Chain A
Amino acid sequence: MADPFLELIDISKSYPGVIALKGVTLSVAPGEVIGLVGENGAGKSTLMRILGGVAAPDHGGLRIDGNERAAMTIDAAGKAGIAFVHQELNLFDNLDVAANVFIGREPRKAPPLRLLDTEAMRQRTAPLLKKLGADFTPASPVADLSLAQRQLVEIAKALSFDARLVILDEPTSSLTVTETNRLLKIIADLKAAGVSVIFISHRLQEVERCADRVIVLRDGRKVGELTGAEIEHEAMIRLMIGRDLKSLYIPPKAPPGAEALALTQLRTSAFPDKTVDLTVREGEILGLAGLVGSGRTEVARVVFGIDKQTGGEIRLKGEPVRIAEPREAIARGIFLVPEDRKQFGLLLDVSISQNISLPDLASYANAWLIKPAQEDANAERQKRRLNIKTPNVGVVAGALSGGNQQKVVLAKWLSMKPRIIIFDEPTRGVDVGAKQEIYELMRALSDSGVAILMISSDMEEVIGVSDRIAVMHEGRISGLLERSRFSEDNVLRLAVGRPLY
């Protein structure tokens, strides 16, 4: 491997109350693909902020092309050819692809007006897109592009800066299998062209497939570096958490009971010509797998009364019901833990206590006047029961970590009488420790007779947690697997619409 052009040497950084990084050293050679893994809070983001010049290290320094410097600046990072593709894509979807690639440095026409030279922008964008094998044009509006396509736009933008190092932060978390494969291919192409890549991901299989070298961070320290054949799923996990991951599956105490929720010929507006048939029984966790966009969330939204049911029947314990709004679902004990908790699950700048009481305020009120003491008392109970890590329940929900926020969403529903809980991506953005707690809680709920429908795109989760798995493909259930037939291969085959052997 060639000599490194970029080195971070013995970097330390602390924020009030936390040591974010401690003595981390990282070098990047041309054409090298580095996987950066670690749990949430391990220090990956801080390291990247230092690399991008957004934060300055307290201790340590950098070397770019042999020149030492104490800290990076945003400007210097750009000049050194470091380009970021962020987890939340920073694109303007009201503009076209070329305008996004050249945002802030648009080619202009002649003075005096110096109007935008749209032609030049598009001409210069076209070869970049071609290089990436993009199936859209420089003139395509970003609003019409899929998430994967938008990611390509970001990468094209990075290339337009003649990037020598492209940093991909969780690039595959919302991609389908085919899209992920294509991205990995693009990473290989970048590598062949001498561009280095830092690939930050929780998806270890993908890291395994593309990285030349893997750096594992834990609690702000570099705890391991794997190269070549050492790069292997189990080894990474062991380093990340410092222990072997115990099996996720907790068997139910009793066999599942009666049918709790049954959908027959249910139609959603997303797939008007497809119907869904699905049964969830009391005391079981039914996993609902499938690719992003296969219509799983839409089913949840109809059952919870967010979207209109366009056909078919919903039965609760055999009794047909119509659910026109969330209020009616909640009244029947059907609760939803939404995928995007910041947008739909919580009021971020409201206290934990008031978030928890919101769906059931009337029971904390006496003649319409709320009793804050009762709200707080219940919130305290839930805090202890769910192990919500917070000094007190008056703290605003937005100040909590992802896992604790998810526990607050759960606490809302557990304060009431759940019969059916739909979890939509229950552990997205939740760290490993809190994940396990959430799984244990789900099992405890199902053992108490609650029916659980768990939508998940995380293969490990679907296979590890579910009692049965239903797989969706393009708006319909393509198959139902019992535990004996659980395998990654089977779930994937059904998810892409192929038959099982």
Chain B
Amino acid sequence: MLKKDLGLLILILVVSATVAFINPRFLLPINLSNTMNLIGLYGIFSIGVGLVIITGGIELSVGSMFALLGVIFVDLLSTYEVNWALASLIIVITGLILGALHGFLVTRMGLQPFIVTLCGLLIYRGVARFYTEDATAGFPFGVTYPALQWLTTGRTLGIPHSFIAFIIIAIVMGIVLHRSVFGRYLFAVGKNEEAARYSGIRTKRVISSAYIICGGLAGLAALFLTLYTRSISPATHGNFYELYAIAAAVLGGCSLRGGEGSMLGIVLGTILLQVLQNLVNLLGIPSSLNFAVIGAVILFGVLADQQITRHGGLTQFFRRRPVPQAIPEKQG
């Protein structure tokens, strides 16, 4: 565990303890279970966005993808009465295709990731609204999909399935990111794409893969979110969710310059964000202040991390890998 992750864990525990102390309802099973559900919902796509950020890219369109994929999903199930498993598969595949498209535009057309995914954000939202003529898409009254609902919104031993899915994905992707050859390549292209290419890495493929994985996880998250809200208003569904994902990744130690980050960090970042949301609710802070609180915490967290890193201190203490030897003098 890196010192960044440890710091984040401590922060989560402190915030949780404070909230629990002020408002004991924090510890009620129902509250914990709800918070876990939200952590799961947001976490699934935050992992994807985190991977993209580690390659030095950015993904801004996931929130709009949820609206577009959500209305399609509802339509497939209710209007076309497609089997739920098939419909779910179609949604995930559509997510993968959108991710592949982003990857293609970034690596083969040489466009900047910010621009590609910003256009995605605008286009998917617009198409979603057009698709339903701006009306809310919902499941017909009285129709249920027991298996699908159990899978996405059900609980086992009180633990929401969205959270379980998140943890499984985090473990798998954590192994991929930190132990596999592909994961090493993700970091390498994020650190120095040219040097990676000179080492024989197919950098375009690696970067595209990150967008594809992100798209796939966004597709999966879209299923959970749709069943969670049960209706999709295409103008607002998933608004700002991409920013939650970026915030979680950044809080978790991902650098927007690429090449840095950890799966544990992304997981903890997601947890911290949801605990903060919960804090706003439980402490009776006006919900209009929601964004302000989250923004302030991220700012504080990143600032503290910078200061600690710059001035040594905790860094030296918790650092696991050997401290680089300073070079006394520049060459020349």
A433 at the B interface (CB under 8 A) = no
B81 at the A interface (CB under 8 A) = no
Residue positions of A touching B, CB distance < 8 A: 15-18, 20, 40-41, 43-46, 87, 169-170, 200, 304, 306, 325-327, 329-331, 336, 338, 343-351, 354, 358-359, 361-362, 365, 368-370, 390-392, 394-396, 398-402, 412, 429, 431
The list of the 8 closest CB pairs from A to B, nearest first, reads A399-B324, A330-B200, A18-B328, A327-B200, A359-B199, A358-B199, A361-B181, A347-B191
Task: Give Cα distance in the complex from A326 to B200, angstroms.
Answer: 5
Nearest CB in chain B: distance from A297 CB, A: 13
Judge whether A344 and B180 touch: CB under 8 Å: no
A-B contact pairs, 24 of them (CB 8 A): A45-B330, A87-B332, A306-B197, A327-B202, A329-B200, A344-B194, A345-B195, A348-B192, A359-B199, A359-B201, A361-B184, A365-B181, A369-B175, A369-B180, A370-B179, A370-B181, A394-B322, A395-B325, A399-B324, A399-B325, A399-B326, A399-B327, A401-B331, A412-B199
In chain B, residues 145-185, which have Cβ atoms closer than 8 Å to a Cβ of chain A?
A: 175, 179-182, 184-185
Nearest CB in chain A: distance from B201 CB, A: 7
Judge whether A395 and B324 touch: CB under 8 Å: yes
Q: A18-B328, A306-B198, A370-B184 are in contact. List 12 more A-B contacts (CB 8 A).
A: A41-B328, A41-B329, A44-B332, A45-B331, A325-B200, A344-B198, A349-B191, A354-B184, A361-B185, A365-B181, A370-B179, A395-B324
Judge whether A326 and B322 touch: CB under 8 Å: no
Residue positions of B touching A, CB distance < 8 A: 175, 179-182, 184-185, 187-188, 191-192, 194-202, 259, 321-322, 324-332
Nearest CB in chain B: distance from A42 CB, A: 9
Task: Give Cα distance in the complex from A215 to B269, angstroms.
Answer: 57
Most chain A CB within 10 A, of B192, B325, B332, is at B332
Nearest CB in chain B: distance from A186 CB, A: 21
**Contact for A358 among B180, B194, B196, B202, CB less than 8 A:** B196
Nearest CB in chain A: distance from B192 CB, A: 5
Nearest CB in chain B: distance from A187 CB, A: 18
**Contact for B332 among A17, A169, A350, CB less than 8 A:** A169
Closest to A367 in B: B180
Nearest CB in chain B: distance from A243 CB, A: 21
Closest to B187 in A: A350
Nearest CB in chain A: distance from B323 CB, A: 9
Judge whether A326 and B328 touch: CB under 8 Å: no
Closest to B320 in A: A394
| Complex contacts, A370 vs chain B, CB 8 Å | 179-181, 184
Task: Give Cα distance in the complex from A365 to B184, angstroms.
Answer: 11
**Contact for A396 among B196, B200, B201, B324, CB less than 8 A:** B324
Given A347-B191, A369-B180, A370-B184: A326 and B327 interface contact (C-beta under 8 Å): no
**Contact for A15 among B175, B201, B328, CB less than 8 A:** B328
Judge whether B328 and A20 touch: CB under 8 Å: yes
| Complex contacts, A349 vs chain B, CB 8 Å | 191, 259
Task: Give Cα distance in the complex from A15 to B329, angstroms.
Answer: 9
Given A358-B188, A370-B184, A398-B324: A344 and B329 interface contact (C-beta under 8 Å): no
Nearest CB in chain B: distance from A174 CB, A: 13
Task: Give Cα distance in the complex from A64 to B332, angstroms.
Answer: 26
Task: Give Cα distance in the complex from A395 to B324, angstroms.
Answer: 5
Task: Give Cα distance in the complex from A331 to B330, angstroms.
Answer: 36
Given A327-B200, A365-B180, A368-B180: A344 and B326 interface contact (C-beta under 8 Å): no
Task: Give Cα distance in the complex from A350 to B187, angstroms.
Answer: 10
Closest to A390 in B: B325
Task: Give Cα distance in the complex from A94 to B4, angstroms.
Answer: 38
Judge whether B332 and A170 touch: CB under 8 Å: yes
Task: Give Cα distance in the complex from A390 to B200, angstroms.
Answer: 26
Judge whether B332 and A45 touch: CB under 8 Å: yes
Judge whether B196 and A401 touch: CB under 8 Å: no
| Complex contacts, A43 vs chain B, CB 8 Å | 329
Judge whether B181 and A362 touch: CB under 8 Å: yes
Closest to A200 in B: B332
Judge whether A394 and B321 touch: CB under 8 Å: yes
Task: Give Cα distance in the complex from A354 to B201, angstroms.
Answer: 14
**Contact for A429 among B175, B185, B331, CB less than 8 A:** B331
Task: Give Cα distance in the complex from A349 to B190, angstroms.
Answer: 12
| Complex contacts, A326 vs chain B, CB 8 Å | 197-200
Nearest CB in chain B: distance from A396 CB, A: 5
Judge whether B201 and A358 touch: CB under 8 Å: yes
Closest to A416 in B: B200
Judge whether A343 and B195 touch: CB under 8 Å: yes
| Complex contacts, B202 vs chain A, CB 8 Å | 325, 327
| Complex contacts, A306 vs chain B, CB 8 Å | 197-198
| Complex contacts, B201 vs chain A, CB 8 Å | 327, 358-359
| Complex contacts, A396 vs chain B, CB 8 Å | 324
Nearest CB in chain A: distance from B187 CB, A: 8
Task: Give Cα distance in the complex from A390 to B182, angstroms.
Answer: 28
Closest to A87 in B: B332
Judge whether A40 and B332 touch: CB under 8 Å: yes
Nearest CB in chain B: distance from A380 CB, A: 14
Task: Give Cα distance in the complex from A346 to B188, angstroms.
Answer: 10
Judge whether A336 and B198 touch: CB under 8 Å: yes
**Contact for B322 among A345, A365, A395, CB less than 8 A:** A395
Task: Give Cα distance in the complex from A326 to B199, angstroms.
Answer: 7
Most chain B CB within 10 A, of A344, A392, A431, is at A344
Task: Give Cα distance in the complex from A441 to B187, angstroms.
Answer: 31
Closest to A399 in B: B324
Nearest CB in chain B: distance from A430 CB, A: 8
Judge whether B324 and A368 touch: CB under 8 Å: no
Closest to A347 in B: B191
Closest to B204 in A: A325
Most chain A CB within 10 A, of B179, B259, B325, B331, is at B331
Task: Give Cα distance in the complex from A219 to B182, angstroms.
Answer: 45
| Complex contacts, A16 vs chain B, CB 8 Å | 326, 328
Closest to B322 in A: A394
Task: Give Cα distance in the complex from A375 to B24, angstroms.
Answer: 50
Task: Give Cα distance in the complex from A400 to B330, angstroms.
Answer: 11
Most chain B CB within 10 A, of A40, A338, A358, is at A358
Judge whether B325 and A391 touch: CB under 8 Å: yes
Closest to A341 in B: B195
| Complex contacts, A359 vs chain B, CB 8 Å | 199-201
Closest to B185 in A: A361
Nearest CB in chain B: distance from A38 CB, A: 10
Most chain B CB within 10 A, of A40, A347, A390, A429, is at A347
